[in-house]
Amino acid sequence: MSASAMSLAGDLSDIELMLGVKNGAPELLDPLLRRHRNSLIHFLYRMVQNSAVAEELAQDVFLRVYRARDSYQPSAHFTTWLYRIAQNRAINWVRDNRHHRNAKSLDQLLVPRASSWATPEQELLRSEKRQRVRAAVEALPERQRVAVLLHKYSELDYVQIAQVLGCSVSAVKALVNRAYFTLRLTLATASQV
């Protein structure tokens, strides 16, 4: 894609780019890929807890987006459609490969990194907190976990999450509220032990 075409593609919305792909301009998929690749990989990483698998699944998601271009309908945000595909791929992978999960990643994403001046004791406390948070999030029922990941880390609004999960906005609010309540309760109980 030429520099002028890249500049023009940068001015187009996700929906306009996807409609361009649908109408025979496959080169417009590349700007979409670049625009959403990192956030998609982060979402998938939180779901599967393995960076190599997250990268592979992201490639597969974009391949599926391309293959489904003819059926694309801009009735919702492009990201809603993208994350629905990603969620389905991640859930299928987790169900099929539970024994392959890498248990060290979610804790690093949920709790801020230590600063360079942290003492070994402070870093140990942070590490223990990350492990508690990771375990609490992993223990959530699947739909609650997905809703929290989409809300907190992918920064989708309730309407978009509802479209991804195929449920009502009030159901999403209930899922997110129950998940956060459970996390607060679980983490409060764990800190008292």
Q: How far apart, in whole angstroms, are the C-alpha atoms of residue 109 and residue 10?
A: 29
pLDDT above 90 as % of the chain:
34
Judge whether 147 and 172 are in contact, CB under 8 Å.
yes
Indicate whether 110 pLDDT > 70: no
Q: Give the pLDDT of residue 19.
A: 93
- The pLDDT of 5-29, averaged and rounded, is 84
- Tens of pLDDT, residues 170-193: 999 999 999 989 888 888 876 665
Indicate whether 91 pLDDT > 80: yes
- The pLDDT of 39-62, averaged and rounded, is 90
Domains of the chain (ranges, CATH numbers): 1-102 (1.10.1740.10)
60 CB burial (10 A radius; 0-12, 13-18, 19+): middle
